[in-house]
C-alpha cells in the first residue's frame, strides 16, 4: 500500500477530537467548573483582606 502517512498534527487533532467528544466530556467540564469557579470568586475579593484572614 503506497499512500501518504498522516502527519503528527493530524494525529494530534484526531486524538483531541476523540477526547472532546467522549462520554466523559460533561464530567470533565463539571470538574473544571467545580475547581475554577471558587478560585475565580476568591480572586475577585480584596487580596489584603484575604491574606489577613489566612494569618
From first to last of the 55 residues of the chain, give the pLDDT tens digit: 456 776 888 888 888 888 778 777 788 888 888 988 888 777 777 777 767 766 6
> Quick one: cell of 30?
463539571
* pLDDT for res 23: 79
CB 41 within 8 A of CB 33: no
Question: Coil, strand, or helix at residue 34?
Answer: helix
Model pTM score: 0.40
CB 31 within 8 A of CB 39: no
d(CA 33, CA 27): 10
Amino acid at each position: 500500500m503506497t499512500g501518504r502517512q498522516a502527519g503528527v498534527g493530524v494525529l494530534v487533532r484526531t486524538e483531541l477530537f476523540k477526547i472532546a467528544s467522549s462520554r466523559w466530556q460533561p464530567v470533565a467540564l463539571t470538574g473544571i467548573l467545580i475547581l475554577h469557579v471558587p478560585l475565580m470568586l476568591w480572586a475577585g475579593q480584596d487580596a489584603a483582606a484575604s491574606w489577613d484572614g489566612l494569618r
